[in-house]
Structure 1
Amino acid sequence: MGKGWLGASLADEEKQWRIPMAPDVAAELTAAARAAVAAGHRPDLASNRPAGLALTEEFAAGLRRRLAGEPGFAVVTRFPVGADDPRETEMAYWLFGLLVGRPVSQSRKGDLLGRVEDRGADIASPVQRGYESSAALPFHVDRTDVIGLLCIRPAASGGLSRIVSSKTVHDLLLEESPDALAELYRPYPNDRRGEEQPGESPWSGIPVFSRTGDSFAARYVRRFIAGSQRHERAPRLTERQTAAMDALDGILERPGISLDMELRRGDLQLINNFHILHARSAFEDGGGRGRLLLRLWLAFEGSPELPGHFSSLYGAVAAGSYRGGVWPVGAAPGTFGRPVAELG
């Protein structure tokens, strides 16, 4: 397991993680997107990996290396979002995503390009999604290898993005609370929030931290763990499990641990979901159109091997395999488990 990082150390080193998209790359990508829209193409799981974008591919390759290694995230600046036709911006993002990984569905509706905006969702509800709320979201992960968030419009106030190295948090627990860390290596029940396929259990048992061979992974969504208790057959949370989560949360909120950033128009944040936990502060929208981020969930050829516990939730556990996502009823893909590098 590689070393993690401290937010306080990276806050003044933006050149390490804010990566500007060069004008010639943006122009190449924009031209390809405009041509695809003119030809009637739309984001689709059957989309082929775009060819003929040598500059964009080279830029994406550098990002893939950052995601698979250190620091496990990047913020691309100057992504082209100024097209008069929003379909061209969406297509540019889609094509770029296909060069980073392979998209998966994000909801029961089959969303491939999610819209992160306030739709009045109540995050206290076990069946509503946080990305449709303006509320603060605590540190968590999503059900995918890589998350992409493209800022189209920032909020009038708030909406700060916060990320943490799960490796750093792990090592601090090892040093300060080894008993708590040992507990977090054991499975916790996770509510599937009605997103399971017919015949599947409504909860999954998954550890917060895990290692498989040389691979390290973290999965933590405390409100999903708490929500599991609504299912009679889910194991009851113990005092030791709750205390371990309290210890983890204490480190997550410790000053200097997280890297907090404002996502500006044209910023694209990409994070390795198994090595980075993310959170968001509450936000408010002013007059006119409100905060809007476009989200991609990507299976990624540089993803880690996962323990068998994850198979019920991700569909496959092999490193670099197509997996993850939230799918419409009966629509889980037959490509689960295939190497991402062989798709498209």
Structure 2
Amino acid sequence: MPGEVAAELNAAARDALAAGGRPHLASPRPVGLGRTEEFVAELRRRLAGYPGFVVVTDVPVEAEDPQESEMIYWLLGLLLGRPVSQSRKGDLLGRVEDRGADIGSPVQRGYESSAALPFHVDRTDVIGLLCVRPAASGGLSRIVSAKTVHDLLLAESEDLLAELYQPYPNDRRGEEQPGEAPWSGIPVFSRTGDSFAARYLRRFIEGSQRHDTAPRLTERQIAAMDALDAILERPGVSLDMELRRGDLQLINNFHLLHARSAFEDGGGRGRLLLRLWLAFDASPELPDHFASLYGAVAAGSYRGGVWPAGSLPETLGRPVGELG
């Protein structure tokens, strides 16, 4: 992060905290941050097009008051998009750290464990991960182009690729709203007009089978996932990186899948990443299959997130550019 941008955000964060500001859905988009606006415009360009991700180094995380670092990140996020809730708790700035969660449980979240997480996507347009403290060992971040994996599968197993364009049942893991089905049918790969999107969480697909109402996975569907997983783990397909203190990784969630290796914490405070889920005004149009899970499918609309029961925001479906 350029020094002048860091300085501008530092000053704005202190002013916001002094005025009693805290991360909130109604937080206004910051104004008067010219240097940061120019910087964010370049981030948006890279996220919307090629390569679909960016790593920003030297984000200020050294403040004595951790709220200052959190506010810097929050203000940057507000300039990039609009935050959505990440869990039933309504957290807008998530803490990715080991809290002993069991990823084998259908009702516990992987970001609260130290286990390896296979390639997957999150329920949002853009994911931000800011490293506050790296692990003592492990915790390698891995990303892969969904289009690259798609095209390799097209060249090698076109018949199995066709299966991945059909809806797969996805377990909603108890995060559905009252009255909604406990699973959603969504393809792994989708095309709507000129828009391409990928959504793949094998654990959630297999977890759907605990619901009697979910369709049973066929042998062909399982074979297609096996072929996809084999390509995802093929040497040289993914880009693996270590996120160091002050590194911010931003990912276009529909163009890239991400994973994480297992990690171990040493003495003292353990690994901590701060996570933002952002609705993005340059996001693609999605097929109607996504509506039950994302709340809206129009390009550039406010959508996605995991919300507290009975409290979906009224802004779902509105253009992101009109909010804040």
Q: TM-score, normalised by structure 2?
A: 1.00
Of residues 23, 39, 50 in structure 2, which corresponds to 1:59?
39
What corresponds to 2:284 in structure 1?
304
Of residues 12, 16, 19 in structure 2, which corresponds to 1:39?
19
2:140 matches 1:160: yes
What corresponds to 1:109 in structure 2?
89
Of residues 245, 251, 255 in structure 1, which corresponds to 2:231?
251
What corresponds to 1:281 in structure 2?
261
SS of the aligned residue for 1:70 comes to coil
Q: Distance in 1 between matches of 2:39 and 2:179?
A: 43
Q: CA deviation at 1:260?
A: 0.2
Of residues 275, 285, 293 in structure 1, which corresponds to 2:273?
293
Of residues 213, 222, 244 in structure 2, which corresponds to 1:242?
222
SS of the aligned residue for 2:142 comes to strand
The code of the aligned residue for 1:61 comes to A
Q: Distance in 2 between matches of 1:305 and 1:134?
A: 34
SS of the aligned residue for 2:179 comes to coil
What corresponds to 1:224 in structure 2?
204
Q: Distance in 1 between matches of 2:161 and 2:322?
A: 37
The code of the aligned residue for 1:191 comes to D
Q: CA deviation at 1:39?
A: 1.0
Q: CA deviation at 1:48?
A: 0.6
What corresponds to 2:165 in structure 1?
185
What corresponds to 2:245 in structure 1?
265
What corresponds to 2:75 in structure 1?
95
SS of the aligned residue for 1:296 comes to strand
The code of the aligned residue for 1:287 comes to G
Q: Where in structure 2 are there 5+ consecutive unaligned residues? A: none
Of residues 125, 130, 144 in structure 1, which corresponds to 2:110?
130
* Deviation by residue 1:11-41 (Cα, 9 ceiling, x = unmatched): xxxxxxxxxx110100000100011111111
The code of the aligned residue for 1:223 comes to R
* Deviation by residue 1:32-73 (Cα, 9 ceiling, x = unmatched): 001111111100000010000000011011000100000000
Q: Distance in 2 between matches of 1:58 and 1:245?
A: 41
The code of the aligned residue for 1:116 comes to V
Of residues 302, 305, 322 in structure 1, which corresponds to 2:302?
322
* Deviation by residue 1:58-112 (Cα, 9 ceiling, x = unmatched): 1011000100000000000010111111000000000000011100000000000
SS of the aligned residue for 1:312 comes to helix
RMSD: 0.4
The code of the aligned residue for 2:2 comes to A
Of residues 314, 318, 322 in structure 2, which corresponds to 1:338?
318
The code of the aligned residue for 2:162 comes to A
What corresponds to 2:62 in structure 1?
82
What corresponds to 1:148 in structure 2?
128
Q: CA deviation at 1:265?
A: 0.2
* Deviation by residue 1:142-187 (Cα, 9 ceiling, x = unmatched): 0000000000000000000000000000000111010111000000
Q: Percent identity?
A: 84
Runs of 4+ in 1 over 4 A off after TM superposition: none
Q: Distance in 1 between matches of 2:17 and 2:238?
A: 39
Of residues 279, 293, 304 in structure 2, which corresponds to 1:313?
293
Q: CA deviation at 1:218?
A: 0.0
Q: Distance in 1 between matches of 2:243 and 2:114?
A: 15
Number of residue pairs the alignment of both structures matches: 324
Q: TM-score, normalised by structure 1?
A: 0.94
